[in-house]
Amino acid sequence: METTLRGVGVSHGVAIGEVRHMGTAVLEPPAKQIPADEAEREQGRARQAVEAVAADLIARGNLAGGEAQAVLEAQALMAQDPELMADVERRIAVGSTAERGVYDAFAAYRALLAGAGEYLAGRVADLDDVRNRIVARLLGVPMPGVPDSDEPYVLIARDLAPADTALLDPSLVLGFVTEEGGPTSHSAILARALGVPAVVALPGAGELVEGTVVAVDGSTGEIFVEPTAEKRAELRRAAEERKAALAAASGPGATSDGHKVPLLANVGGPGDVAAAVEAGAEGVGLFRTEFLFLDDSKKAPSEEKQVEAYRKVLEAFPEGRVVVRVLDAGADKPLDFLTPADEPNPALGVRGLRTLLDHPDVLRTQLTALAKAAEGLPVYLEVMAPMVADRIDAKAFADACRDAGLQAKFGAMVEIPSAALRARSILQEVEFLSLGTNDLAQYTFAADRQVGAVSRLQDPWQPALLDLVATSAESAKAEGKSCGVCGEAASDPLLACVLTGLGVTSLSMGAASIPYVRATLAKHTLAQCERAAAAARAADTADDARAAAQAVLSGE
């Protein structure tokens, strides 16, 4: 009998197929003592396994490219953490086997993260994956990962580690469903980049029986278990209609009455450029530069290396707009040479612009490299700072841009509620705003963006978050300046209409979402978008806001 489950839809599309569960390694090795004269050999085994796993993660990243590469390289750094390795060797020295030493050392580190207020809880899935891979290699058992199958399937997992998500084969993995995660988790972001329908934060997903047929609607978050023939036909018709609408929409982003809304791409490095160009992106609204700094956590990349990487992206968008975010280090993106190792709550500590202002040489090198990369190119370069809290921050960044001789617009990201509330003040120092809705939601609701248990509060439809977007957009309009959205909220076609109605002047998203947003915007007038925005803000819950906007845009 058909039943319906509901999680959080994070990647558009419909997938119908049999359930297959993510394979796992043997998680806990036996606890047995080794003689003292075997300790050195076991320590060597542990080091070899760690290096092999790190090399495998980096290789996977090189194959995947783009955002996935940055995530996997961060996992490799996690595996090679010197303090963690020292703890492994200490445990082996007092009698643990290599595999048990790894298991216990990672368990201690896991507990440390939880004790730090769980801001890094979203990294626990990554940490567990690294541990499982090392332990599996030491025990000689299969690595955790996607199941072997010759037939396409829907993948079910407690959570998906980046190493698995990055190399999913869309010809076999029709879609995936996870028990944990949120709309802005790594799995969600990578699913959108792959164009694979996905639903996260579905309690009990692991209880779905292997081989059961399910239909996954990545737009609504619905899972239909053993769907009837009628339901399958209905879902396929809806998917075909969406596909036709995508094919019919082309060109620059605009409402049906001609109000222009530039549709830009979020890119994590040169590897993401081809997909952005193919999707018809009008430029880049968020160029994340962290990928350059993850190759070596001990020192910043050279100016020459940065110039080369930046220029590859700038060259891809002649006459287009490219908005570069300077290094956003700290919190869940620690770098040994920049970020403190002992902050009790890194999310509320020294991260983003605060980190760069503490290390002005790193900021100046990056700004100088951007200036050199743009020389002679017909590109509209804009550079923005992450985690701007107030006018003092904005002025410090603007002064640094001028001191570096940067011929570009410079702006501020709005990720902290104070920046939204005091946007007009900040705009006295910078030329544009860019709303990072992922972090803005996190800080507005005190809800870690990686923790599935609080996904309700990470929903970008939350009326309080829409209020902050409206405040920022209204401030920018009053100052005659622009205010874009580069957070994951922009990838929701319906919400894109609401953001347009709130006064947002551009939308930036993963390349795979651009056709959906373009097609939806083209069906509605600016006045309809404004009415939908007003209806959403008048609601009390995210679900009611979404329903209210849908009712307006569908003419109900």
Residue 196 identity (one-letter amino acid): V
User: Quick check: helix, strand or coil at residue 20?
Assistant: strand
Q: Would you list the DSSP string of 459-505?
A: -TT-HHHHHHHHHHHHHHHHTT-EEEE-SGGGGSHHHHHHHHHTT--
Helix (H) or strand (E) holding 271: none
CA distance 302 to 466: 40
User: Quick check: helix, strand or coil at residue 266?
Assistant: strand
Which residues are tagged catalytic?
Answer: 186, 486
Contact 463, 545 (CB under 8 A): yes
- Which is it for strands 8-11 and 263-267: parallel, antiparallel or unpaired? unpaired
Take residue 367 and report the two structure tokens written for it.
């700004």
For residues 493-525, one letter each, b for 16 or more C-beta atoms within 10 angstroms of the residue's C-beta and e for the rest, the string is: bbbbbbbbbbbbbbbbbbbbbbbbbbbbbbebe
**Farthest-apart Cα atoms in the chain, separation:** 79
Take residue 458 and report the two structure tokens written for it.
């990470």
Length of the chain as a residue count: 556
Helix 526-538 to helix 493-501 angle (10° resolution) is 90
